[in-house]
């Protein structure tokens, strides 16, 4: 049994950590946090040059052709650094949708552009309140044009193209939904930035008015493709969440060692020690669940749907837990704009909703466990 | 990343599986498989006798205490072979529970500190289950603070004379031998005045009284010592070095990697899958599903954490500290799971035993659960260990650290 990353993959992780420590300091994150730039363009360029954007994209489409385990270790570092770039929307959502269902021409057009950092992509799924469900998709596709409004769309204001979920039928079944590829720089697209919990990753409302679109995947297959995309993204996001959890835990631990109150290190009080021990427990459970998700993703195992849901729930809980208690360990200073604690708190809570909220994934997990038991 | 055995591991697994298939006491398999926390007895047999017979059979074929050297009754196996064995032993591993302390803690301590002739005399029958051992550390005045123990050992010629009381001693009522931590010098600070021995539990002056636990069962005992004589050659380690010797014992607790911790989740999921509530199947209920999902990811998180440790063993590396979370997570989880299972039963959840739902399975679990959060290190001690040894936080401030033991206050008020 080797339920661990290989030495090469660990080396890649170290390389990514070093690169991000240099290029993505908290100071750099703050440029985006303070609204001075929509994302960190220099970092995005650097990630492309390092080959990180296309690490799981096959070589024939301009990527490094490594694989999803390599992408997982990079994702962990992106989360640890709280990187203010459209990595998850472009790499986990748009690129994965193309890899699963794109035609050869579509892949040739967009994947090399993703790998080189020239194109930012996203998935336009949600239309206001609610978790992923076919019934919530109201945007229509007819005669090659889309009409409707999507929100929130992650990184929608800076994206060059989007995978859009559209209604092509009214039978009340999953087959009513189809996917389309849209060049967001074309006609019939109106984009509005939305204020959101985590300004280091934008959210937008996109209105499509008789907007030209080309089908992605077969008609009526949209929901089945989306389910696969969301499962893959759940595993990849879980690694970002694991990285963020570890960083929040480290920040809390370091502060507990430095800060003196009542004449001693606050980390010598059991109330603080035990809070940090519980954060370690959450982070460890999340890491182990995410490793299983990584195995299932990289081998395209039948266990992927269940593994993805478990990784999603566990990592979401861990990141929220570590981020909020990191602030608590810091006391009043943790609640200032100046300290970095709130960046992780914001990211943790935004990520908890992005692919559908916890209650959605809890439901998915139980459905999938029942299915397995029935089989 | 893969879950495959190496060729050597696969060969070992096949050999172990074949032997277990041909030799295990299959007539008890079903009962052992259905056992859960608080309920592991066999209906029509004495579990102690069945366990001893299985252990002896394993020892005769070279399958006992796999990681011990052959000359002491073991097999000289690698850590990963030991894990593979326990995976293959499956439900029959339940029968090893009465030997866990002897094999996991007393044996390794003897190996590290006993004289060679004692090792050759005492270890093989310990491995084969013919002799059962217990560990006499905790006292009424020293539980989490075990170094606060008061049982005195005083030198008298070539013997030591022991007076005092131990408590929470698992299995003392069926044990043949024990390792005993005593205070030999009360005038020095508490960690410095301790000395370790092993002794025959049938020695004159040893009295074992089973404790009736809050659950009604009796797994633990009080052990009283009245002028018990122990020859000096049964001392383990130097006089006054008992604390360091006991750390060896306690470190060996960690070697139980790969042993499944009981969370109650599989039992609860199975129960909810068939349970009908007023509004329909429990498994369709939104609130039930949410609870199950949250426990599911804890149970799977523990399982995969253990697999990470096993992977390290398989590569010949030392497992990381992550395995230290197992007991902490599982202990309170099984308590919560049992409480919730009874909640789902409504008013009838109060009925326990044979008249209860599933013959009182979750009721027994609930009543046994508080013990799991205390035994072998309380939740609070486990959190201290994680905070100090894993996260590097400062140790607790110990006001009694440098005070002679006989000057430490003994009453709160």
Query: Who contacts B392 (Cβ-Cβ below 8 Å, separation ≥6)?
Result: A253, A257
DSSP string, B353-400: GGGSGGGGHHHHHHHHHHHHTTTTS-HHHHHHHIIIIIS-PPPPP-TT
Tokens representing B190?
């508490």
- For residue B18, the model assigns a pLDDT of 97
Element (H, E) at B412: none
A302 touches B: beta carbon within 8 Å: no
- For residue A330, the model assigns a pLDDT of 98
- For residue B258, the model assigns a pLDDT of 53
pLDDT at B254 > cutoff 60: no
pLDDT at B339 > cutoff 90: yes
Phi-psi region at B359: left, alpha or beta (left = phi > 0; alpha = psi -120 to 50): left
- For residue B39, the model assigns a pLDDT of 73
pLDDT at B377 > cutoff 90: no
Residue A73: which pLDDT band, with cuts at 50, 70 and 90?
Answer: very high
CA–CA separation, B335 vs A311, rounded Å? 24
- Give the rounded percent of residues in chain B with a pLDDT score beyond 70: 97
A41 touches B: beta carbon within 8 Å: no
Q: What share of chain A is helix, strand, coil (3-state, %, to 5)?
A: 60, 15, 25
- Report the mean per-residue pLDDT for chain A: 97
pLDDT digits (tens, 9 = 90+) for B13-60: 999 999 999 999 999 998 888 888 877 778 888 889 999 999 999 999
- For residue B253, the model assigns a pLDDT of 57
B316 touches A: beta carbon within 8 Å: no
B253 is catalytic: yes
pLDDT at B366 > cutoff 80: yes
- For residue B44, the model assigns a pLDDT of 83
Over residues A29-50, the mean pLDDT reads 97
pLDDT at B332 > cutoff 90: yes
List C-alpha distances in Å: B411 to A42, B130, B182, B407, B408.
Answer: 66, 43, 21, 12, 9
pLDDT at A331 > cutoff 90: yes
CA–CA separation, A150 vs A152, rounded Å? 6
- For residue B375, the model assigns a pLDDT of 85
pLDDT digits (tens, 9 = 90+) for B144-199: 888 999 999 999 999 999 999 999 998 999 999 999 999 999 999 999 999 999 99
B283 touches A: beta carbon within 8 Å: yes
Which spans in B77-214 are helix H?
Answer: 79-89, 100-101, 107-113, 116-127
pLDDT at A113 > cutoff 80: yes
pLDDT at A229 > cutoff 80: yes
Element (H, E) at B224: strand B221-231
Closest Cβ–Cβ partner in B2, B307, B396 for A270: B396
Among B222, B253, B322, B375, the one annotated catalytic: B253
- For residue A180, the model assigns a pLDDT of 98
A344-353, B314-323, B324-333, range with the lowest pLDDT = B314-323
Question: DSSP secondary-structure letter at A332?
Answer: G
Which chain B residues have a beta carbon less than 8 Å from that of A285?
Answer: 297-298, 301-302, 305, 325, 329
A300 touches B: beta carbon within 8 Å: no
Over residues A285-314, the mean pLDDT reads 97
pLDDT at B322 > cutoff 80: no
Tokens representing B368?
């046994």
Which chain A residues have a beta carbon less than 8 Å from that of B329?
Answer: 281, 285
pLDDT at B323 > cutoff 90: no
- For residue B58, the model assigns a pLDDT of 96
A181-190, B98-107, B334-343, range with the lowest pLDDT = B98-107
Chain centre to alpha carbon of residue A75: 9
Contact: B393, A257; criterion CB under 8 Å: yes
- Report the mean per-residue pLDDT for chain B: 92
- For residue A287, the model assigns a pLDDT of 98
Over residues A181-202, the mean pLDDT reads 97
- For residue B291, the model assigns a pLDDT of 98
Contact: B292, A366; criterion CB under 8 Å: yes
CA–CA separation, A142 vs A94, rounded Å? 22
- Give the rounded percent of residues in chain B with a pLDDT score beyond 90: 71
Over residues A277-294, the mean pLDDT reads 98
Contact (CB, 8 A) for A48 and A116: yes
So what's the ipTM on this one?
0.96
pLDDT at A321 > cutoff 90: yes
Contacts 24+ apart (CB under 8 A), B205-208: B205/B162, B205/B229, B208/B169, B208/B172, B208/B173
Over residues B280-309, the mean pLDDT reads 95
Over residues B365-391, the mean pLDDT reads 92
């Amino acid at each position: 049994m080797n339920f661990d990353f290989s030495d090469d993959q660990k080396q890649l992780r170290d390389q990514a950590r070093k690169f991000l420590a240099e290029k993505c300091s908290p100071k750099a994150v703050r440029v985006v946090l303070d609204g001075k730039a929509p994302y960190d363009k220099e970092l995005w360029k650097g990630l492309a040059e390092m080959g990180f954007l296309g690490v799981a994209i096959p070589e024939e489409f301009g990527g490094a052709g490594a694989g999803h385990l390599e992408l997982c270790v990079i994702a962990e570092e992106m989360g640890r650094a709280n990187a203010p770039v459209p990595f998850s929307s472009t790499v986990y959502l748009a690129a994965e949708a193309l890899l699963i269902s794109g035609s050869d021409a579509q892949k040739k057009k967009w994947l090399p552009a993703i790998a080189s950092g020239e194109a930012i992509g996203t998935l336009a799924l949600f239309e206001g309140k609610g978790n992923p469900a076919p019934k919530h998709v109201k945007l229509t596709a007819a005669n090659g044009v889309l009409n409707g409004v999507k929100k929130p769309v992650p990184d929608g204001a800076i994206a060059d193209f989007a995978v859009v979920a559209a209604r092509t039928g009214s039978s009340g079944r999953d087959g009513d939904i189809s996917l389309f590829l849209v060049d967001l720089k074309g006609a019939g697209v109106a984009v509005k930035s939305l204020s959101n919990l985590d300004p280091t990753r934008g959210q937008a409302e996109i209105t499509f008015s008789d907007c030209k679109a080309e089908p992605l995947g077969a008609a009526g297959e949209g929901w089945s493709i989306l389910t696969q995309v969301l499962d893959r993204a759940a595993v990849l996001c879980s690694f970002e969440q694991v990285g963020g959890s570890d960083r929040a835990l480290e920040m809390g631990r370091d502060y507990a060692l430095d800060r003196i109150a009542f004449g001693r290190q606050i980390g010598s009080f059991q109330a603080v020690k035990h809070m940090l021990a519980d954060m370690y427990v959450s982070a460890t459970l999340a890491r182990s669940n995410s490793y299983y998700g990584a195995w299932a993703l990289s081998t395209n195992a039948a266990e992927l749907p269940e593994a993805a849901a478990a990784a999603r729930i566990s990592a979401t809980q861990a990141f929220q837990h570590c981020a909020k208690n990191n602030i608590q360990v810091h006391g009043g200073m943790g609640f200032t704009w100046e300290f970095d604690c709130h960046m992780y708190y914001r990211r943790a809570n935004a990520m908890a909703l992005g692919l559908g909220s916890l209650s959605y994934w809890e439901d998915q997990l139980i459905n999938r466990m029942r299915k397995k038991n029935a089989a | 990343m893969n879950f495959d055995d190496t060729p050597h591991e696969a060969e070992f697994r096949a050999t172990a599986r074949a032997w277990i298939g041909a030799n295990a006491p299959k007539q008890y398999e079903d009962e052992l498989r259905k056992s859960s926390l608080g309920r592991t007895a066999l209906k029509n047999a004495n579990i102690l006798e069945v366990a001893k017979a299985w252990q002896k059979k394993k020892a005769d074929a070279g399958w006992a205490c796999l990681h011990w050297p052959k000359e002491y009754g073991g097999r000289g196996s690698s850590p990963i072979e030991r894990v593979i064995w326990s995976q293959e032993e499956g439900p029959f591993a339940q029968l090893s529970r009465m030997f866990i302390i002897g094999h996991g803690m007393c044996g390794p301590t003897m190996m590290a500190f006993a004289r060679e002739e004692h090792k050759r005399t005492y270890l093989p029958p310990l491995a084969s289950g013919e002799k059962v051992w217990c560990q006499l550390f905790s006292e009424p005045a020293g539980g989490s603070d075990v170094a606060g123990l008061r049982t005195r050992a005083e030198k008298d010629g070539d013997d030591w004379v022991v007076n005092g009381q131990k408590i929470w001693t698992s299995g003392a009522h069926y044990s043949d031998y024990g390792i005993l931590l005593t205070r030999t010098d009360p005038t020095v600070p508490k960690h410095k005045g301790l000395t370790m021995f092993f002794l025959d539990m049938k020695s004159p002056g040893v009295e074992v009284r089973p404790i009736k636990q809050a659950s009604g069962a009796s797994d633990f005992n009080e052990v009283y010592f009245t002028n018990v004589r122990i020859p000096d050659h049964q001392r383990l380690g130097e006089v006054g070095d008992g604390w360091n010797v006991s750390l060896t014992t306690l470190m060996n607790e960690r070697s139980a990697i790969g042993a499944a911790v009981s969370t109650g989740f599989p039992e609860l999921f199975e129960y909810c899958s068939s349970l009908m509530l007023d509004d329909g199947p429990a498994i369709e209920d939104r609130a039930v599903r949410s609870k199950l999902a949250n426990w599911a990811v804890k149970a799977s998180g523990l399982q995969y954490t253990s697999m990470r440790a096993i992977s390290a063993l398989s590569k010949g590396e030392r497992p990381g500290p992550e395995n230290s979370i197992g007991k902490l997570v599982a202990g309170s989880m099984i308590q919560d799971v049992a409480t919730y299972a009874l909640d789902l039963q409504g008013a009838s959840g109060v009925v326990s035993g044979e008249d209860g739902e599933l013959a009182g399975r979750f009721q027994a679990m609930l009543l046994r659960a508080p013990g799991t959060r205390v035994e072998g290190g309380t939740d609070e001690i486990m959190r201290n260990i994680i905070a100090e040894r894993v996260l590097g936080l400062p140790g607790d401030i110990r006001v009694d650290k440098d005070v002679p033991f006989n000057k430490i206050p003994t009453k709160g008020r």
